[in-house]
Structure 1
Amino acid sequence: MKNILVPTDFSAEAHHAFRTALQLARRTGGSVTLLHVLALPDQPRTANFSSFGGPVGSAELSGTHGIDRIFVIKLMEATRQRMHLLLAEAAQLAPDVPVHDLTDQVDVDDAILKVIEQRHIDLVVLGTQQHDAIERFFASSNTEQLVRLAPCPVLAVKQAADLDAVRDIVFASDFGDEADQAVPGLRQVRQLFPEAQLHLLHVTDENAGQARQQIDDFIERHQLAPAEAVLMEAGSISSGITDAARKLAAGLIVVPTHARSAFSRFFQGSVAEKVAFQSAQPVLTFHL
Structure 2
Amino acid sequence: MNFKNILVPMDFSKCAKSAFKMALTLAKRTGASIDLVSVTHIPHLHAEMVGAASIVNPILNDYHNLIDEQFDELIKTTESEGVKISISKYNAPLHDAIYSCTLQNESDLIVTGTKSQHDWLVNLLGSNSTDMIERSKIPVMVIPEGLENNNYKKIGVAIDYADFDDPSMLEPLRAFAELFESALCFLNVTTKHHKLFVYDDIKVGISAYFNDLKQSFHTYTDSRPLPEILLEAIKDLDLDMLFMLPKNHTTLQRLIKPSQTKSMALQMDKPLMTIHEKKT
Q: Judge same fold: TM > 0.5, yes or no.
A: yes
* Structure 1 position 97, deviation (Å): 0.7
In the alignment, structure 1 residue 77 sits paired with structure 2 residue 78: no
Alpha-carbon separation, structure 2, partners of 1:284 and 1:3: 16
- Select the residue among 14, 19, 35 that pairs with 1:17: 19
Q: What pairs up with 1:157-172 in 2 under 5 angstroms?
A: 157-162=143-148, 164-172=150-158
Partner residue, 1:272 = 261
User: In 2, Cα distance between the equivalents of 1:216 and 1:71?
Assistant: 56
In structure 2, the partner of 1:226 is 214
Q: Distance in 1 between matches of 2:148 and 2:66?
A: 29
Structure 1 residue matching 2:156: 3-state secondary structure: strand
Residues 1:123 and 2:109 aligned together: yes
Question: In the aligned structure 1, how far is the partner of 2:151 from the partner of 2:223?
Answer: 28
Cα contact 2:177–2:183 (8 A) shared by 1: no
Q: 1:143 to 1:179 in 2, by over 3 A?
A: farther
8 A Cα contact 1:183 1:222, kept in partner: no
The equivalent residue for 1:43 is: 44
Q: What 5-or-longer segments of structure 2 have no aligned partner?
A: 251-256
- Is 1:185 the equivalent of 2:172? yes
Give the Cα separation in 2 of the matches to 1:135 and 1:123. Answer: 28
Deviation at 1:120, TM superposition (A): 0.5
Counterpart for residue 191 of structure 2: 205
Cα offset for 1:253? 0.9
Change in CA separation of 1:70 and 1:44 when aligned onto 2, cut-off 3 Å: closer
Aligned equivalent of 1:105:
91
Residue 39 of structure 2 aligns with an amino acid whose one-letter code is V
Q: Find the counterpart in structure 2 of residue 96 from structure 1.
A: 82
Report the alpha carbon displacement of residue 105 of structure 1 after superposing the two structures with TM. 0.4
Question: Unaligned stretches of 5+ in structure 1?
Answer: 46-61, 262-267
Deviation at 1:118, TM superposition (A): 1.0
Residues 1:220 and 1:8: Cα distance change in structure 2 (over 3 Å): closer
For the 8 Å contact 1:128–1:140, the answer to whether it is kept is no
Q: 1:14 to 1:223 in 2, by over 3 A?
A: closer
Query: Deviation digits for residues 187-241 of structure 1, max 9, x if unmatched?
Result: 22322221x2211111222318716963753454435363112233352223322
SS in 1 for 2:22: helix
* Equivalent position to 1:86, from 42, 51, 74: 74
| Cα distance in 2, alignment partners of residues 133 and 269 from structure 1 | 17
Q: Distance in 1 between matches of 2:23 and 2:121?
A: 25
* Pairing 1:225-244 to 2, within 5 Å after superposition: 226-232=214-220, 233=222, 235-244=224-233
Equivalent-residue separation in structure 1 for 2:28 and 2:138 (angstroms): 19
Identical counterparts, % of pairs: 23
Q: CA deviation at 1:113?
A: 0.7
Summarize the Cα distance change of 1:130–1:221 in structure 2 as closer, same or farther, 3 Å threshold: same
How many residues get paired? 259
